Amino acid sequence: MGVNTRAVYEFGPFRLEPDERFLLRDRKPASLTPKAFDLLVLLVRNQGRLVTKDQIMQAIWPGSFVEEANITVLISTLRKVLGETEANDPYIKTVPKKGYRFTASVKIAEQAHSDPIPHAPVPNEAPKDTIAVEPPHIQREDAKPVVIPPVALLPSRSRKRITILAVLVAVILLAALTYFAYRSSSAPRTLAVLPLQNLRHDPDSEFLGFSLADAVISKLGLLSSVTVRPSSAIQKYTNRDLDIKRVATDLNVNTLLTGNFIREGDRLRITYQLVDVPGNKILSKDVIDLKYEELLTVHDNVSQQIIKALQLNLTRSEAERIRPDAPVDPMAYEYYLRGIDLMSKHNFPLAVKMLEKSTEIDPKYPLAWAYLGQSYTSDATFTLGGRESYARAHAAYERALALKPKQLEAEMFLANLLIDTGKVEAAVPLLRDAIARNVKNAAVRWELGYAYRFAGMLNQSIAECERARQIDPSFRSNGSVLNTYLYVGRYEDFLESLPDVNESGFFRFYRGFGEYHQGKLANAAEDFNRAYQEDPTLYTGIGKAFACAIAQKNPEGLQILHELEAKIEKRGVGDPEASYKIAQAYAVLGDRSSALRAFRFSIDSGFFPYPYFARDPLIDSLRNLPEFPRLLDAARQRHLAFQKKFF
């Protein structure tokens, strides 16, 4: 068995174990909320360096509506746990108007844990004149010998019986081995490409780890003979010690690509291996030495090696689609990779700048335009970019498709934008055409299920989303929620479809929402309150309003909803499905006029699942209002027109 290590940090009487999420004081557990724990890890890992408030916001609440006061609350929590006072702050120093610095001396210890497939060791100091990193090797455990009693010591009849029995056992074993070998060789390939590890820990090159993996994923995602996990599923493994078998189980894959890189000036060395996890063997390994300006060739080289090692059969159209990309200006490609990495960290404003620079240097690279559009969309959604950012996103997608018609990323991103901006009818043809060319792409099917949900085609929505999760089970944990289960009253299925609620306040809100529909009000209130406390965002704010209704604190709940509506209005373009949930909360809290206003906004913005509206018990208090039938009929007419056009 191999041995790997996890970083453990020691300071004063404290021991911080990030991977196990433990904080010990004098060997006794200290209690912290998840967000406070994450902030402590961030500060300790940056010991001695200023961590700005913006950096904290992006790291602890990526892509969320939060006030700066939330940081102050977490810092106060940490100081109480660490035993600091106003006159004595040996751990966390406040840098006025800028951020915080962890000033205590930190000792980095290591904790051993077994790893059945060990990785290349990270050197403390690599030689300056060479980049020699050998790829890791797979270790096999020797089979234990089978002890058989000496046949000569047994009677002849017993020896004959044992001989016959041995033959039968051998035949059965041979048949079983043949069967399982066949099963192993014929099992569909499911692949995860993990972020490359930066052996030098050079901050300026850190972006390469995730962005190069993303480039390989994008290339292989065009193939039908292998199912590749999306970048959103592998992002959490960036710069982490890995237990290969555990990662494979977590991602539900039988094949993993792992590797590392070292940059030396204008030279780059990448070492990688393709691992068949059930067979505990390396299918392929290689070392790529190249000039830094040749980065564009990496994902093509690695993709071709994977295709060869897995013996994938490509159709003629697939072979055409994964041909090496046309030359791109090296500097433009570096800005593109930096933008991709920043998007994975939810730093959308800076991602926009990087991708804009990429398209400025080389305006003929379609992927840069596609991801620039997505960064505009995300910036608008999460940082109040508003209508102007949505317009820029649409123009970027159109530019990408003009350069490369049928580009999958641009089609998906554009379809999502169309759905969220009230044009679901225009999104469906794009998605159906993309599915026809990418039948095993889970993300496209999920997006189509999302479109059907907005239009009220609920059974069809469930079918597409369930198909997406059959193809790629990671859709259970990548931020996707199968809301349609709620809309048809399948509350148990909805709760079962959620990932671990401890992953985010967003998922905890949805567990509370499912419990609320089941009538489990005490459980729902607990989840709503905890979600909002840990992660105050748009959705958890709605949940907090429901919790106020349960506690009969209606004025407090209404105030929260009014503030959320103000933020949506400021953003210019809102989430119409979230607006409907605001309408539901208003109705439950008794403010029927505000509920009708939010309901109207939701329909006008393109959310019109009429069958759900017709039976939703949360808005029953609105049904006798004069305007309600008109709103319901507007949703019905658009739903029927959609149904007639597409089904």
The answer to whether residue 244 sits within a structural domain is: yes
State whether 60 and 38 are in the same domain: yes
State whether 213 and 270 are in the same domain: yes
Helix, strand, coil share of the chain (percent; to 5): 60, 15, 30
State whether 103 and 66 are in the same domain: yes
Pairing of strands 99-102, 92-95: antiparallel
Q: How far separated are the first and last CA of the chain, in Å rounded?
A: 56
- Confidence at residue 434, expressed as pLDDT on a 0 to 100 scale: 93
State whether 234 and 298 are in the same domain: yes
Average pLDDT over residues 421-430: 95
Contact 397, 373 (CB under 8 A): yes
Own/partner long-range contacts of 64-70 (Cβ < 8 Å, ≥24 apart)? 64/382, 64/535, 64/536, 64/537, 64/538, 65/382, 65/536, 65/537, 65/538, 65/541, 65/567, 66/535, 66/536, 66/537, 67/536, 70/536
The answer to whether residue 485 sits within a structural domain is: no
Distance CA 544, CA 636 (A): 31
Average pLDDT over residues 336-346: 88
The answer to whether residue 10 sits within a structural domain is: yes
Average pLDDT over residues 168-177: 47
> Residue 524: is its pLDDT beyond 50?
yes
CATH (domain of 65):
1.10.10.10
CATH (domain of 292):
3.40.50.10070
pLDDT tens digits along 373-392: 999 988 776 555 567 888 89
State whether 304 and 195 are in the same domain: yes
State whether 247 and 204 are in the same domain: yes
Domain boundary among 49, 73, 108: 108
- Confidence at residue 428, expressed as pLDDT on a 0 to 100 scale: 97
> Residue 128: is its pLDDT beyond 80?
no
pLDDT tens digits along 250-284: 888 999 999 888 888 888 888 889 999 998 888 98
Question: Which pair of tokens denotes residue 309?
Answer: 């090692």
Pairing of strands 28-29, 2-11: unpaired
Q: How many domains, the chain?
A: 4
Average pLDDT value over all residues in the chain: 82
State whether 179 and 194 are in the same domain: no
State whether 244 and 339 are in the same domain: no
- Confidence at residue 616, expressed as pLDDT on a 0 to 100 scale: 96
The answer to whether residue 227 sits within a structural domain is: yes
Q: Which domain holds residue 341?
A: 326-405
- Confidence at residue 118, expressed as pLDDT on a 0 to 100 scale: 36
Domain boundary among 183, 198, 225: 183
> Residue 136: is its pLDDT beyond 50?
no
The answer to whether residue 305 sits within a structural domain is: yes
Least confidently predicted of 72-76, 237-241, 553-557, 572-576: 572-576
The answer to whether residue 50 sits within a structural domain is: yes
State whether 337 and 391 are in the same domain: yes
Domain boundary among 345, 377, 405: 405
State whether 97 and 17 are in the same domain: yes
pLDDT tens digits along 11-33: 889 999 888 788 888 888 887 88
Percentage of residues of the chain with pLDDT beyond 90: 42
State whether 171 and 195 are in the same domain: no
Distance CA 257, CA 284 (A): 9
Contact 534, 64 (CB under 8 A): no
- Confidence at residue 131, expressed as pLDDT on a 0 to 100 scale: 32
State whether 65 and 165 are in the same domain: no
- Residue 401 pLDDT level (bands cut at 50, 70, 90): very high
The answer to whether residue 72 sits within a structural domain is: yes
- Confidence at residue 267, expressed as pLDDT on a 0 to 100 scale: 86
pLDDT tens digits along 431-476: 999 999 888 888 899 999 999 999 999 999 999 999 988 888 776 5
- Confidence at residue 233, expressed as pLDDT on a 0 to 100 scale: 83
The answer to whether residue 261 sits within a structural domain is: yes
- Residue 39 pLDDT level (bands cut at 50, 70, 90): very high
CATH (domain of 377):
1.25.40.10
